[in-house]
Chain A
Amino acid sequence: MIEKVKIALIEVFGLEVIEDTQLEGLQPALYIAKDQMENVCFYLRDSEQFYFDFLSNVTAVDDSENGKFIVVYHLASIPYQTQLTLKVQVDKPETEDVLPELNSVSKVWKTAEWHEREAYDLMGVFFVNHPDLRRILMPDDWEGFPLRKNYTDPEYYHEIPVK
């Protein structure tokens, strides 16, 4: 499956679209170039041979040992009953007040809208061209991104002791 997708993607978008291939493990994954991700998703959703019409999950993983954030997309195809994992690497910016950025896929699958809001809320990954990127689970005025590895709990929130 993964080889078939890889060949098709290289044919359509060129060699640079695949940054890396992860073949070991239970679920092989393709690392897609950051700027091409949205187009790749459109292609995978619409092409007749793959038809990945269902986006199961979007996750952001803090990989700060390697200075990166990894955004993981789990796709499923309802007519073909197949699954696919795509990953996008985003470099970690040097300062804390700049967020890592990549393009939103919410135009491809509407469900990505809330998944990306969650990834922004908890991990601090900014999705460009997202229609409504507000915090979703934490309060609007919360500071920091709780799922990052270097996150420390605040002492107070609106003068209420948190710890």
Chain B
Amino acid sequence: MKYNDALARYQEKISGITSQEMVINMGPQHPSTHGVLRLELITDGEIVKEVIPHMGYLHRCFDKHAESVNFTKTIPFTDRLDYLASMNNSHAYVMGVERMLGLGAKIPKRVEYIRILVCELNRIASHLIAIGTYGIDIGAFTPFMWCFRDREHIMNMLEWASGSRMLYNYIWIGGLFYDLPVGFEERCTEFVQYFKPKLKELDELLSTNQIFISRTANIGVLPADLAINYGCSGPMLRASGIKWDLRRIDGYSVYPELEFDIPVGNGEMGQLGDCWDRYKVRVDEIKESLRIIEQCIDRLSKDFKRSPEFDPRALVPKKVNLKAQDYYVRAENPKGELGFYFATQDRTDIPKRVKARGPSFNNLSVLPELGKGVLIADLIAILGSIDIVLGEVDR
């Protein structure tokens, strides 16, 4: 059967290696794969000749689930895609449904600012994990502890707002689960004040560390054209020098009203688009996210102050009734472009097809290209710099 040709070719390749080569399985239980990813390496001594990734250990059939329940019930599932940035996932999903409903422009400003506030907090938490675990991949233990210490503050704040530590179900179609708890803005300001010096400390510890630079600079260089061709997005694409941030390009939600820069890689320590650039872009993005958070808190405590009449659920539809149509929504997640494709059908609130386009899935697909001919230790550095979340790769 021609349908099995590719599988036969693959099996032939594995069984037909020369006596010099060796097949090594990295994962699925390897800490540096950041989850259950299995990399099959064909190695010649210390040199990796080929990388064959195997995914699916965490496959939960997101698409099939989303086709069996209505739009509202899918939101908790979206939280579990990129479980380090749940707010951003549900924001993208909810935005898509709202636009199809024609609610997009009607969402109250306070709701939008709260959404951006929690999304940016979550973005910082996600980047902190990326930086911390990257340090530990390279062999630096301290940044890991520091990052988790600071991330815990964000987790506590988001738990206060939503009732859950990591998987929030906070952003709803047409609104929010609840308004922010009283005192949230003050606590958030306190956190920003606390975190700014800590971030500087972290930056000084890692960015200019000679051991860290030797392990990451000039390693895994990803040229811009290759990054685009492989569908890389987010920090991965920006580290290759392309200023592509959907928060600016699409200007969704209230991002056009906020001031922030888009950090790009510039090859400061080595070549443009190496592992160090990818790491540095994430550090710089945390600084920008802090700027956005400050502006959000400012507006939320002045122009869009909390008031007793404000009801974050005022626009939440009882039933999502849509005409048959299809729509692709994209948003900038910490890891890159998260897209949802909806195909709806008439007279029911169950979608015909929902597909999640995870940024990690596409970012990972460039690994076989980057991993050709590198040392095994460098492969760990490259994989860590891609910053994948297997919940999103496998969906």
Which residues from chain A sit less than 8 Å from chain B, CB to CB?
24-27, 29, 53-57, 59, 61-62, 72, 74, 78, 81, 83, 85, 99, 109-111, 113-114, 122, 126, 130, 132-140, 146-147
Contacts and interface: CB of A to CB of B under 8 A. Distances in A.
Nearest to A45: B229
A25 B326 CA distance: 7
Chain B CB within 10 Å — which of A85, A113, A114, A126 has the most?
A114
A25 to B, nearest CB: 4
Contacts of A83: 328
A27 B328 contact: yes
Contacts of B369: 110
Given A61-B352, A74-B341, A122-B63, A137 B231 contact: no
Contacts of B362: 111, 114
B152 to A, nearest CB: 33
A57 B341 contact: yes
Given A74-B341, A147-B67, 14 more contacts: A25-B326, A26-B325, A59-B341, A74-B328, A78-B244, A111-B231, A111-B362, A114-B365, A132-B9, A133-B5, A133-B6, A136-B55, A137-B59, A147-B353
Contact of B7 (A61, A113, A137, A140): A140
A146 B324 CA distance: 23
Interface size on B, as a range, is 35 or more
A65 B324 CA distance: 14
A56 B330 contact: yes
A59 B6 contact: no
Contact of A134 (B6, B230, B343, B394): B6
Interface string B337-356: 10101010000000011010
A72 B231 contact: no
B325 A134 contact: no
Contacts of A147: 63-64, 67, 353
Nearest to A24: B325
9 closest A-B pairs (Cβ-Cβ)? A111-B231, A137-B56, A57-B357, A25-B325, A114-B365, A59-B355, A137-B59, A133-B6, A134-B6
Contact of B229 (A62, A81, A111, A133): A111
B124 interface: no
Interface in B5-27: 5-7, 9-10
29 contacts: A25-B326, A26-B100, A26-B325, A26-B327, A27-B327, A55-B231, A56-B328, A56-B330, A57-B328, A57-B341, A59-B353, A59-B355, A61-B343, A72-B326, A74-B328, A78-B242, A83-B328, A99-B3, A110-B229, A110-B230, A110-B365, A110-B369, A111-B362, A114-B361, A126-B3, A133-B5, A133-B6, A136-B55, A137-B55
A61 B352 CA distance: 8
Contacts of A25: 325-327
Given A56-B330, A72-B326, A122-B63, A111 B365 contact: yes
B337 A56 contact: yes
Given A25-B327, A54-B228, A122-B63, A137 B394 contact: yes
User: B-side binding surface: helix, strand, loop or mixed?
Assistant: mixed
Contacts of B196: none
B249 interface: yes
Contacts of B9: 132
Interface of B: 3, 5-7, 9-10, 55-56, 59, 61, 63-64, 67, 99-100, 228-231, 242, 244, 249, 325-328, 330, 337, 339, 341, 343, 352-353, 355, 357, 361-362, 365, 369, 394-395
B343 to A, nearest CB: 5
A56 B357 contact: yes
A95 to B, nearest CB: 13
A62 B339 contact: no
Contacts of B337: 56
Nearest to B352: A61
A8 to B, nearest CB: 22
B323 to A, nearest CB: 9
Given A26-B100, A74-B341, A54 B231 contact: yes
Contacts of A54: 228, 231
Contacts of B55: 136-137
A99 B4 CA distance: 12
A80 B343 CA distance: 27
Contacts of A61: 326, 343, 352-353
B13 to A, nearest CB: 10
Contacts of A99: 3
A150 B63 CA distance: 15
Contacts of A59: 341, 353, 355
A134 B99 contact: no
A57 B6 contact: no
